[in-house]
Amino acid sequence: MSFRNQVGNLHGAWLALIGVLVICPDALLIRLIEVDDMTASFWRIGFLAVSTFVLAVIKGRYKGQGFAASVIPGRHEIPAGLFFCGTTIFFILSIRNTDAANTLVIIAATPLIAGVIGVLVFKRNQPMRTWVASVVVFVALALIVGAGFGGENALGDVLALCAATCMAGFFNVIGARPQINEIKAMLFGSCLGALILLPTAEPFSVTGMDWVWLLMLGFWVLPVSFLFISAGARKIPAAEVGLIMLNEAILGSFLVWLVIDETPGRMTLICGTIVIVTLVFHSLLGIRESRRMRAAAPL
């Protein structure tokens, strides 16, 4: 890898990290919402549809496009939108049906799934350090999910794996198709998700502070975080983006524990620690490789 590409990867990593920091309160806000699961999911993704619609129109006008061209997805945005739709629906339903720490740590499976999809479908190469780290993460998550089978967390853990799979697909599609307009993809996915959830939701049962949490999710946390993460995914492999997103498991779980005193189970703590340590070593190896490439680059 050339020094120029290495610098590009570093830039992409920072973009993805900013997106992760923005999305960290997501699990906490979902936990604070008291309305039923389907209604909370509907408004969360419905408000996201409104915010991405506004962004799509603004971006289209900036590029000199008409209204229809600004909001209607193309053939490349549709598959990305489908993955985004699955990610948003499965994530909130998982948070509502298992410990928040379980969901956030299980999302760490994204690097392994993204790596497999990237190699088999998009023919993208992955660094060996990413493969090794992903395998370690997969084993740790298998222990968490295995411990939850038969218990009250089983459904939420499985939904978290579905969310991780959809997220991996979204990052791979965005990374493999530079021409994709990620805002139109998110708009398509959020509109589709709202339509899917509407028959099972009770939209007018929301009251009090639930409106505040839902508005924060739909107009700030989700659109801003995914825009940054998607921008990062264009510059670095999807598996690398997934590993950076492991930071959400740390900070998101900490926020949930700090505010509502939800303590992760013993297995989640042990395996989550393994995931965090793996991320640290992966990052250190990446920094060392960057320094070596910098030293070898011609002056």
**Residue of 23, 49, 8, 29 whose CA lies nearest to 107:** 23
Sorted by where each begins, the domain ranges of the chain are 3-296
Contact 99, 253 (CB under 8 A): no
pLDDT-derived band of residue 193, with 50, 70 and 90 as boundaries? very high
Q: For residues 264 and 105, what is the distance between their CA atoms, to the nearest angstrom?
A: 11
Alpha helices, DSSP H only, in 149-245? Answer: 154-176, 182-197, 210-216, 222-235, 238-244
- DSSP annotation string for 220-273: IIHHHHHHHHHHHHHHS-HHHHHHHTHHHHHHHHHHHHHHH--PPPHHHHHHHH
Pair 248, 17: CB distance under 8 Å: no
109 touches 115 (CB < 8 A): no
Q: Is the pTM of this model over 0.95?
A: no
Task: Give the rounded percent of residues in the chain with a pLDDT score beyond 90.
Answer: 23
CA distance 58 to 56: 5
Could you give the count of Cα atoms lying within 13 Å of 192 in the half-sphere of its Cβ? Answer: 21
CA atoms within 13 A on the CB side of 259: 15
pLDDT one-digit tens code per residue, 263-294: 777 777 887 788 778 777 776 776 677 667 66
Which pLDDT does position 117 carry in this prediction? 77
| Chain segment 81-113, per-residue pLDDT in tens | 999 999 999 998 998 888 888 888 888 777 677
Give me the pLDDT at residue 290, please: 63
pLDDT digits (tens, 9 = 90+) for 44-76: 999 999 999 998 898 888 888 888 888 888 888
Task: Read off the DSSP letter of residue 99.
Answer: -
Six token digits for residue 238: 């999807």
CB 244 within 8 A of CB 18: no
Mean pLDDT of the chain: 81
Nearest to 103 by CA among 273, 278, 268: 268
